Amino acid sequence: QKEVEQDPGPLSVPEGAIVSLNCTYSNSAFQYFMWYRQYSRKGPELLMYTYSSGNKEDGRFTAQVDKSSKYISLFIRDSQPSDSATYLCAMVTGSNYKLTFGKGTLLTVNP
Amino acid sequence: DAGVIQSPRHEVTEMGQEVTLRCKPISGHNSLFWYRQTMMRGLELLIYFNNNVPIDDSGMPEDRFSAKMPNASFSTLKIQPSEPRDSAVYFCASSLPDRGVEKLFFGSGTQLSVL
């Protein structure tokens, strides 16, 4: 079993839709959870970063962590064409440099 | 700040040739990472430097790969000799730890094609 599993998609939604992106993981030692957004021909950029379980909101984006189920989600409200990108989850154990990335989900938001 | 700067953006070379990829990290960041991204394997960590010292090179595929960081503002990743299976996007990232966790800032990558 891979440490981090992420559905590669592609996911195509109309503008204004609510988008749900998900990752599952197997290593219970992961403590920090991140979402990176990667536009075509660009490097990943950190979108959100959470520690432990619960929700974190930043504008139209909400990151959710359920440690008991080893499941993390990123919700995008009122999705925009500019949200079209690949979204990668990443996680790491405490005080560690080695992020474990999912392979990414390709999202297209159609105007 | 200009962010992490990588060069070249694209590199096309023939099998057996030496390839050198370059990276300028964000000023003040004391950690530097080289990653490789492919469709099959996703993002893979190749090597991690802290304060210019290589800390973890366990991800370097084989002896054909080498990386250096002669000072805080410059790093290189060299492949010699290159092979077609090295074709990928190579990313450099720098970071400053935030409460013990590295928040990575990536460059735009070098698209390498080995023919």
pLDDT at A85: 97
Q: Do B103 and A46 touch (CB under 8 A)?
A: yes
Q: Chain A residue with minimal CA distance to B57?
A: A98
Q: What is the pLDDT of residues B31-83, one digit of tens each?
A: 999 999 999 999 999 999 999 999 999 999 889 999 999 999 999 999 999 99
Q: Do B56 and A98 touch (CB under 8 A)?
A: yes
Q: Do B43 and A44 touch (CB under 8 A)?
A: yes
Q: Give B31-47 as a DSSP string.
A: EEEEEEEETTTEEEEEE
Q: Do A104 and B42 touch (CB under 8 A)?
A: yes
pLDDT at B1: 63
Where does chain A have alpha helices with state H?
Answer: none
Q: How far is A111 from chain B (nearest CA, A)?
A: 27
pLDDT at B107 over 80: yes
Residue in the structure block whose two tokens are 């219970």: A28
pLDDT at B103: 86
Other beta carbons within 10 angstroms of residue B71's beta carbon come to: 8
Other beta carbons within 10 angstroms of residue A7's beta carbon come to: 14
**Which regions in chain A score pLDDT beneath 50?**
none
